[in-house]
Amino acid sequence: MEYLRSIVGGAEIQVVRGDYDEVCLPSSLTVTHSNNSLRIGLIHGHQSLPLGSLDALSAIARQMDVDFLVSGATHAVQAVEYDGRFFLNPGTATGAWTGAWNSSKPGFAVSSNEGVKAAGPHGDPIPSFALLDIQGTVVVTYVYQFIDGDVKVEKVEWRKPDGYGVDERVGAKTPITPGVGSVMPQSIPSPTPMSPQNAGW
């Protein structure tokens, strides 16, 4: 923890317990951002059954009453809107193997108009991490992946739908129908003919 604090200049760090952690950490956290206009949930991801299922993660997000859920456990990167909420799994920074992966063919993530999704789990997990730029109710996610010796960067922008998920305890209007936010993936730099973004899309 001290090392992480040194990276962020002593700023507050939010950490949740993983499925094998023995330290006393919470299993989930909710963080509010931008004057309570954006609620972010943090979980390890092993609570989602089946592992990584968007339906299961969506149920957890509803239970936590969050607009944006960050989870892990699958070692597969994902940044996508689903059911009016945004879901981020940054993957695995080290490319560590997990039993959920089949090493018979390479794994990679692909970009579509619905966000960044893992095309696996196949092969070995791809080292990846994500950086967030949150301004009000707009979340810009930069997903970094180390693929075939090159760093690939995907930019995914999600805007919280107006009024959706607003905390009614502060007198806000009733939430509108989910599914009207926007996810706009963008490759940085533009994909080449050999990049995974062009595989099948």
Q: Which amino acid is at 133?
A: D
Minimum mean pLDDT range among 56-65, 135-144, 156-165: 156-165
Q: Is the pTM of this model over 0.85?
A: no
Measured between alpha carbons, how far is 89 from 44 in angstroms, rounded to an integer?
9
With a cut of 60, say whether residue 40 has pLDDT above it: yes
pLDDT tens digits for range 70-85? 999 888 889 999 999 9
- The residue that leads in pLDDT, 24 or 104, is 24
- The residue that leads in pLDDT, 170 or 26, is 26
Dihedral sign computed on CA atoms, order 153, 159, 165, 166: positive
- The residue that leads in pLDDT, 99 or 53, is 53
Measured between alpha carbons, how far is 151 from 146 in angstroms, rounded to an integer?
5
* Spatial strand order in the sheet of 138-147: 128-135, 138-147, 150-159, 182-188
pLDDT tens digits for range 91-128? 988 887 766 655 544 444 555 555 555 554 556 788 99
- The residue that leads in pLDDT, 158 or 96, is 158
Measured between alpha carbons, how far is 116 from 77 in angstroms, rounded to an integer?
7
- For residues 67 and 86, the answer to whether their CB atoms sit within 8 Å is yes
- The residue that leads in pLDDT, 1 or 41, is 41
- For residues 75 and 52, the answer to whether their CB atoms sit within 8 Å is no
Each residue of 45-78: b (16+ CB within 10 Å) or e? bbbbeebbebebbbebbeebebbbbbbbbbbbbb
Structure tokens at 115: 């966000």
| Residue 32 β-bridge partners | 39
> In this structure, are strands 28-33 and 115-118 parallel, antiparallel, or unpaired?
unpaired
CATH classification code of 2-198: 3.60.21.10
Please give the mean pLDDT across all residues of the chain: 76
Helical H segments across the chain, by residue range: 2-7, 54-64
Minimum mean pLDDT range among 38-47, 77-86, 130-139, 157-166: 157-166
